């Protein structure tokens, strides 16, 4: 990614800010390949071999060097500083790989190197919100299951990412009743909400385990089985949908390395 001289950050292109991403030293590009992780083990007295309990991943970090193409006047420096100091993680896309997106913001120290004549560059470290980068957003068509039968309707969604994907789901209920989504590719794991009113619109954020309803007071979390939908990585996920509704899935796939 660091070979790209131009990029889009917080929906503003680097060319509009008068900077380019550059490499100031010689040699090969040096950038992370896989997420940084630590092996978690538990040591027991009298046992030489520790028990392996899992991994702990660190959010992805990388350095950038931004050169001021047309000089770095005071106003230009202030403008770039405001751009690089958001209060939350913002999307970053390098022009050389537009299918890969990072959610990141400036972290740690930054340095301004110049010759005293308004020519120079800035070095910064960007820290991501997770160990992953992401694809662009995808969405399915809206499936009209207004006449769904008791046998349900099967659809298939392929997760092209390297990790579990937890999609957003839009549901417009038709007739009072329940909605159930079973992922037969995930050992029959079932997402289910009962007693939904006719015409209610639900927006389900499976990543953050949040459910919003369009009709005030029409949904209670006790009506949900507390199991959220997930799509297994790099595989075709066979979903069976029960209940009458109109439904759509939106998602971003997670990438270990782009």
154 band by pLDDT with thresholds 50, 70 and 90: very high
Domain contains 146: yes
pLDDT at residue 197, rounded to an integer: 93
Domain total of the chain = 2
What CATH number does residue 29 fall under? 2.40.30.200
28 band by pLDDT with thresholds 50, 70 and 90: low
Task: Give me the phi and psi of 208, to 5 degrees please.
Answer: -100, 5
Domain contains 1: no
Q: Report how far residue 83's alpha carbon sits from residue 18's, in angstroms, rounded to the nearest whole number.
A: 12
Q: In terms of domains, do 146 and 118 share one? A: no
Give me the domain span that covers residue 30.
7-134
In this structure, how many other beta carbons lie within 10 angstroms of the beta carbon of residue 79?
A: 15
Does 25 have pLDDT greater than 80?
A: no
**Of residues 11 and 117, which shows the higher confidence score?**
11
Q: In terms of domains, do 53 and 151 share one? A: no
Q: In terms of domains, do 41 and 108 share one? A: yes
Residue at a domain's end among 75, 104, 134: 134
Q: In terms of domains, do 235 and 168 share one? A: yes
Q: In terms of domains, do 57 and 105 share one? A: yes
Mean pLDDT (whole number) for 18-35? 75
What separation, in Å, do the N-terminal and C-terminal C-alpha atoms of the chain show? 8
Residues 35-55: tens digit of each pLDDT: 788 899 898 888 888 888 888
Please name every residue paired with 172 in a beta bridge, in sequence order, or none if there are none: 201, 246
Distances (CA, A) of 77 to 5, 123, 152, 236: 19, 13, 59, 48
Domain contains 119: yes
Residues 104-149: tens digit of each pLDDT: 999 988 887 777 777 888 899 999 999 989 999 999 999 999 999 9
**Do the Cβ atoms of 131 and 56 come closer than 8 Å?**
no
29 band by pLDDT with thresholds 50, 70 and 90: low
Q: How far, rounded to the nearest angstrom, does the alpha carbon of residue 238 sit from its chain's CA centroid? A: 22
pLDDT at residue 163, rounded to an integer: 92
pLDDT at residue 26, rounded to an integer: 65
Mean pLDDT (whole number) for 66-93? 89
Residue at a domain's end among 134, 157, 191: 134
Mean pLDDT (whole number) for 216-245? 91
pTM: 0.81
Does 30 have pLDDT greater than 80?
A: no
In this structure, how many other beta carbons lie within 10 angstroms of the beta carbon of residue 186?
A: 17
**Of residues 28 and 140, which shows the higher confidence score?**
140
């Amino acid at each position: 990614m660091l070979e790209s001289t131009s990029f889009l950050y917080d929906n503003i292109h680097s060319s509009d800010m008068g900077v380019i991403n550059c490499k100031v030293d010689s040699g090969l590009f040096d950038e992370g390949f896989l997420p940084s992780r630590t092996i978690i083990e538990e040591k027991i007295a009298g046992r030489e071999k520790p028990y392996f309990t899992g991994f702990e991943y660190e959010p992805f970090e990388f350095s950038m060097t931004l050169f001021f193409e047309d000089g770095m006047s005071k106003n230009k420096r202030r403008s770039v500083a405001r751009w690089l100091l958001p209060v939350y993680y913002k999307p970053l896309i390098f022009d050389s790989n537009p299918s890969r997106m990072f959610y990141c913001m400036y972290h740690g120290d930054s340095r301004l190197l110049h010759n005293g004549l308004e020519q120079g560059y800035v070095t910064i470290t960007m820290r991501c919100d997770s160990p992953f980068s992401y694809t662009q957003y995808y969405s399915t068509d809206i499936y009209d299951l207004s006449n769904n039968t008791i046998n349900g309707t099967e659809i298939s969604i392929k997760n092209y990412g390297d990790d579990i994907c937890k999609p957003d789901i839009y549901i417009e209920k038709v007739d009072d009743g329940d909605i159930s989504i079973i992922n037969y590719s995930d050992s029959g794991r079932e997402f289910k909400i009962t007693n939904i009113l006719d015409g209610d619109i639900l927006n389900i954020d499976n990543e953050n385990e949040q459910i919003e309803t369009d009709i005030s007071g029409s949904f209670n979390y006790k009506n949900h089985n507390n199991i959220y939908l997930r799509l297994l990585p790099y595989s075709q996920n066979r979903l069976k949908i029960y209940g009458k509704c109109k439904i759509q899935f939106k998602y971003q796939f997670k990438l270990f390395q782009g």
